[in-house]
Chain A
Amino acid sequence: SQELEQSPQSLIVQEGKNLTINCTSSKTLYGLYWYKQKYGEGLIFLMMLQKGGEEKSHEKITAKLDEKKQQSSLHITASQPSHAGIYLCGADQAGTALIFGKGTTLSVSS
């Protein structure tokens, strides 16, 4: 079965700093999703990547799927306290449902 490994597990950055979160899959990715979750709340959809080399941006968050389609990165530019939360990558398992990485907890200090 497919597994997603996220790194780092947790991250503390100073407000205004850039950061990157990685998601590595044990199998080829056919649909890679990034979600954000505040503790105890639902998941907020950020971006979906489909094609190798694809890059998408929304406000200060950029996600990329590498050419070999086994790794994705999420980059936040000039972090703000509002970026704090748990970032989860998810992969579509043969069109059934999503499996998730274990998440990266981001804290932003002001």
Chain B
Amino acid sequence: DTEVTQTPKHLVMGMTNKKSLKCEQHMGHRAMYWYKQKAKKPPELMFVYSYEKLSINESVPSRFSPECPNSSLLNLHLHALQPEDSALYLCASSQTQGSSYNEQFFGPGTRLTVL
């Protein structure tokens, strides 16, 4: 199974809502990533988890809160977002973090719209 799944596929939320994005992989990977991609731009790294611990936070605003409950699951909790946070949110996983030549498998993404 070389699949990374993400739910929901689409999400529309107001600025006062609280919602969560979910990502799951069953490849035994120990590194998981959140990327944000705006239209016609490349993905930009938000967070990296390595062995269920947060290892990189790319100065992401606190209205985005990541969580890694176990080695297969990665969540992104959203609260009080702004319209400019509307984007495609991509999850990825790789065998480990910290070694080069580390292929990342990407999920299909969650299209988030903030009204």
Query: Taking beta carbons and an 8 Å cutoff, which residues of A are in contact with B?
Result: 30-31, 33, 35, 40-45, 48, 50, 88, 90, 92, 94-103
Contact = CB atoms under 8 A, between A and B. Distances in A.
B66 interface: no
Interface of B: 4, 6, 33, 41-43, 45, 48, 56, 88, 90, 92, 97-109, 111
Contacts of A33: 103-104
A69 B88 CA distance: 31
Given A101-B42, A102-B42, A96 B98 contact: yes
Given A42-B107, A48-B103, A98-B43, 15 more contacts: A30-B100, A33-B103, A35-B106, A42-B6, A42-B90, A42-B106, A42-B108, A43-B43, A43-B90, A44-B106, A50-B100, A50-B101, A95-B99, A95-B100, A100-B42
Contacts of A99: 45
Nearest to B101: A31
A95 B41 contact: no
B101 A97 contact: no
Given A40-B111, A97-B45, A100-B43, A92 B102 contact: yes
Contact of A40 (B42, B45, B56, B88): B88
Given A41-B109, A42-B108, A31 B102 contact: yes
A92 B94 CA distance: 12
A33 B56 CA distance: 21
Nearest to A100: B42
Contact of A45 (B48, B105, B109): B105
A88 B89 CA distance: 17
A49 to B, nearest CB: 9
Nearest to A91: B100
Contacts of A97: 33, 45, 48, 56, 97, 104
14 contacts: A31-B100, A35-B106, A43-B43, A45-B104, A50-B101, A88-B42, A90-B104, A92-B100, A94-B100, A95-B97, A96-B97, A98-B104, A102-B41, A102-B42
